[in-house]
Amino acid sequence: MPRSALMRWIRTGQVRVDKSRCKPFDTLSSGQNVRIPPCSLEPDRPIDAEPAPNPFRLGTVYEDDSLLVLAKPPGLPSQPGSGLTDSVVHRLKKAYAGRAWTPTLVHRLDIDTSGLLLVAKTYASLRHLQDLWSRDAVRKVYLAWVDGRVDWPHWTELRDRLQQTIRRGKGRRSLSRTVEAVAWVKSLRPRQGGSLVAVSLETGRKHQIRLQMAQRGHPVLGDDKYGSLRCGQGLLLHACHLAWESRTFTLAPQWLGEYEVSEEELQACLADLPSRPRGEAS
């Protein structure tokens, strides 16, 4: 089952541990009895073995039996939210309706961020990739146009402490915490009106790139939330590269005019990436 469904069952009291309601993140001990609601899936229902047609109106970068790599456009949410009627998750559910297991997002991108988005097509693949993500063992590289001239000719570490707010379910109080954010940045095209930079993330905090750049006076172009001017092409932030174990995927952004990124610039930023993220196997 998708993790979102399991969490919803827990929040609504449908999951019992030793006949008592449990809370998210409760610790289980050996020998306890866990009850979940009866599953509505039909195990005897035949499952179409043919690949589903691409219903996403998104580019499919790669697909096999366990993994789907999508090219998410800006403006499309990764997940459902209040007042939203369309998202990548909505489209996955529609495309794979009737399947025993709906392909599930491994991670997400901000609504206005474009680029590579991973979808697990099996539960085993989801667990494996989420474990890699939790250990910061996935190489994540972004391209961004930022306000002003920035001169980082070599990979430079940015390390910050960011305030993060966590909401513990609908109607519950919000909790604030300070988290460490680490990224490596490099200038690809510095200029006065705006600079093209590559960012290699070591941690994956909410709005991390946008916050770290804005705190240095160089917000991402098109970022209304953190103080940048509009550039006519939305938020110029793109997830261009993901790599783990023997897997590598690269996708150039579809920016136009003066913001277009050449294949040479893209390959140049990937040729001398900084040391591996924490937790990545050597």
Does residue 53 contact residue 84 with C-beta atoms inside 8 Å? no
Buried b / exposed e over 64-100, threshold 16 CB at 10 Å, is: eeebbbbbbbbebbbeeeeeeeebbbbbbeebbeebe
- Which residues are annotated as catalytic? 110
79: nearest Cα among 122, 114, 125, 110? 110
Q: In whole angstroms, what is the distance from residue 226 CA to residue 110 CA? A: 14
State the DSSP string of 79-127. Answer: S--TT----HHHHHHHHTTT-SS--EESS---TT-EEEEEEESSHHHHH
What's the angle, vertex CA 272, arms to CA 271 and CA 275, rounded to 5? 130
Which one-letter DSSP state was computed for residue 9? H
